[in-house]
Chains A and B, each alone.
Chain A
Amino acid sequence: MHSDTKAPLALKLSAIGGLIFLLAPIALIFLYAFTTEEKSYQFPPPGLTLKWIGVTMGRDDVWQALGLSLKVAAIATVLAMVLGTLTAAAVARSRFFGREAISLLVILPIALPGIITGISLRSAFALLDIPFSTWTIVLGHTTFCIVVVYNNAVARFRRTSGSLIDAAMDLGADGVQTFRLVILPNIGTALMAGGMLAFALSFDEVIVTTFTAGNQSTLPIWMLEELVRPRQRPVTNVVAMAVVLVTVLPILAAYYLTRDGAETAGSEK
């Protein structure tokens, strides 16, 4: 709905108030990254400095946590893309016993509160005698990332006509060629979108990670420790700003890329 009449003042003010409520805290992160105050969250900051950016750049624990987060997110995304696509292909293109159950199965890890998935996985690892390592974090993240790839892929498979594949086969393409030349180009963008969502989801995940990580820290775990027991506020401020920057830029880019199109990517997290 759209009407060209002017909005009532009260409506406009409350909408703007809502926007300020949503954006101001994030803006504040940028200010605090430069504060000279080390012991408290004093506002207004007594002074501004660039010192803490340098200090943070030199911190090994931050780089290690970032490295682990990127590694876990990358591997979990690849695994989720393979598993999600295979499952989506099977569900969309054939009927078999338990087909409905599978679509419920992939949604469950994300529909249930993270703490339930976390405890379940932890006890499963204990039962299977798998020691905690990077791989247990990866498995945990893959578990809830599959669904975003699956959702994107299954929607695309349903829209892709099956006769395309039949035609490719009739024209002499073998299975591998059909996959590479016909199926992949058709589902490519959906996989890409699903993969990006999965990566973002994994990169930010904290609850399941607390149950599946040994004593390694991903970046969110590092952040959580700082939140519960603040020890180095200035470094945390800079890390928070860096994380916001990393998320802001893709959103702005996505907005400018999809601005002219009717639909926007990723309406739901």
Chain B
Amino acid sequence: MTSPAIFAPRSGVLARAADWAIRHPRMFVFLMVLPIVLWLGIVYIGALIALLMQSFFSIDEFSGVVQHEFTLKTYAELLRPSNFAIIARTVAMAAAVTLASAVLAFPMAYFAARYARGKWKALFYIGVMLPLWSSYLVKVYAWKLVLAKEGILTWIFAQLHLSWLLDAVLAIPVVGGNSLSVSYLGTFIVFVYIWLPYMIIPVQAALERVPAPLLEAASDLGATPKQSFRMVLLPLALPGIVAGSIFTFSLTLGDYIIPQIVGSGRLFIGQAVYTQQGTAGNIPLAAAFTVVPIVIMGVYLWGARKMGAFDAL
């Protein structure tokens, strides 16, 4: 004989479903993660792997048909001078942007962490949050206004009687160009602007944790400001800088909008992927190009982890 249940089974679909869930915890967890596993685990990851697999296929140069057999030919194509130049250009840009962001971010973060109080603190908070949260495209648009040949920057240089300086900078081969908005220099400035907040936040977080007496002790012990910066402040801020550089570096590597709008027309990795999968219809080469930033970031993250950058996030 089975003993009667303490509570009679309740009526109503919802209540019965809830009771069922409590009695079958494993099934319930399974149902909870089912949609995510189906969508992300199968559809998204499946498509991602399918895309990456394509990089081991090659395209027939005459018919333009993808040949579905394993080959490393497409990767070899990456090393062709024109393609390799795209990779080198993107990595060099990402490195330059990261370096410039670190140099610009440090004094701001240091001032905000050590000296800013009250109104200044508020101004710094808004000054970082506003560009961070503003629409990406609106920010790029704003720089199109700033860098245009007839725009404010040219005007400022003219007012300061420094037009010759701007012209001299634009005349530099490779980085210069007709105007700032169609030069590498312009692309570089916009990249720095867009990703700078991602550097300031972790650097400031790292600096907030440095005790002020430590710096006073350094100077009491006879360190010049330069020495205490190099031997005390910088090593303590370094995890923050590395954490910020993860953002600036990876975001620059993958971006294809900024160089398309402000730039010299020479391609970056993102643009190469875009044109290869779109107009050129060479999916294997597009896939091989996407592998490049993934591998670079994998190595970068591994290195960053060794330097303890993840504790500073």
Contact = CB atoms under 8 A, between A and B. Distances in A.
Interface of A: 1-3, 5-8, 11-12, 14-15, 18-19, 21-26, 28-29, 32, 40-44, 83, 86-87, 89-91, 94, 96, 98, 101-102, 105-106, 108-109, 112-117, 119-121, 123-124, 127-128, 139, 143, 146, 169, 174-176, 179, 200, 204, 206-207, 220, 223-224, 227-228, 236, 240, 243-244, 247-248, 251-252, 255, 259, 264, 266-269
B114 A14 contact: no
Given A116-B290, A127-B47, A174-B10, A244 B138 contact: yes
B277 A109 contact: no
Nearest to B124: A19
Nearest to A268: B201
Interface stretch (B20-28, B56-64, B160-168, B302-310): B20-28
Nearest to B137: A223
Contacts of A146: 36, 40
Interface of B: 10, 14-15, 17-19, 21-22, 25-26, 29-30, 32-33, 35-37, 39-41, 43-48, 50-51, 104-105, 107-108, 110-115, 117, 122-146, 148, 150-152, 154-155, 193, 196-198, 201, 207-212, 215-216, 225, 250, 253-257, 260-261, 270, 273-274, 277, 286, 290, 293-294
Contacts of B125: 255, 264
Given A32-B145, A105-B37, A224-B137, 12 more contacts: A1-B208, A2-B115, A5-B115, A41-B151, A83-B36, A101-B41, A102-B36, A143-B44, A146-B36, A179-B18, A204-B136, A227-B140
A32 B215 CA distance: 46
A115 B45 contact: no
A98 B146 CA distance: 50
Given A175-B19, A176-B15, A264-B125, A105 B36 contact: yes
B128 to A, nearest CB: 7
23 contacts: A1-B215, A3-B216, A15-B107, A15-B112, A21-B104, A22-B196, A25-B143, A25-B145, A26-B139, A26-B142, A41-B144, A106-B40, A113-B253, A113-B255, A124-B47, A174-B15, A200-B133, A224-B257, A240-B142, A247-B133, A248-B130, A255-B129, A266-B133
Contacts of B216: 3
A86 B133 contact: no
Contacts of B146: 24-25, 28
B32 A18 contact: no
A6 to B, nearest CB: 7
B166 to A, nearest CB: 14
Contacts of B129: 251, 255
A15 B115 CA distance: 11
A174 B255 CA distance: 50
Top 5 nearest A-B pairs by Cβ distance? A113-B254, A175-B18, A15-B111, A124-B47, A25-B142
Given A18-B107, A26-B131, A244-B135, A252 B260 contact: no
A228 B260 contact: yes
Contacts of A12: 111, 115
A220 B134 CA distance: 12
A255 B122 contact: yes
Contacts of B151: 41-43
A96 B36 CA distance: 15
A243 B110 CA distance: 31
Contacts of B154: 43
Nearest to A123: B47
A170 to B, nearest CB: 12
A86 B150 contact: no
Contacts of A24: 146
Contacts of A11: 107, 110-111, 115
Given A96-B26, A119-B286, A174-B10, A40 B150 contact: yes
Contacts of B48: 108, 112, 116, 120
Contacts of A91: 33
B234 to A, nearest CB: 14
A18 B104 CA distance: 7
Contacts of B14: 176
Nearest to B250: A113
A94 B63 CA distance: 54
Contact of B254 (A21, A115, A200): A115
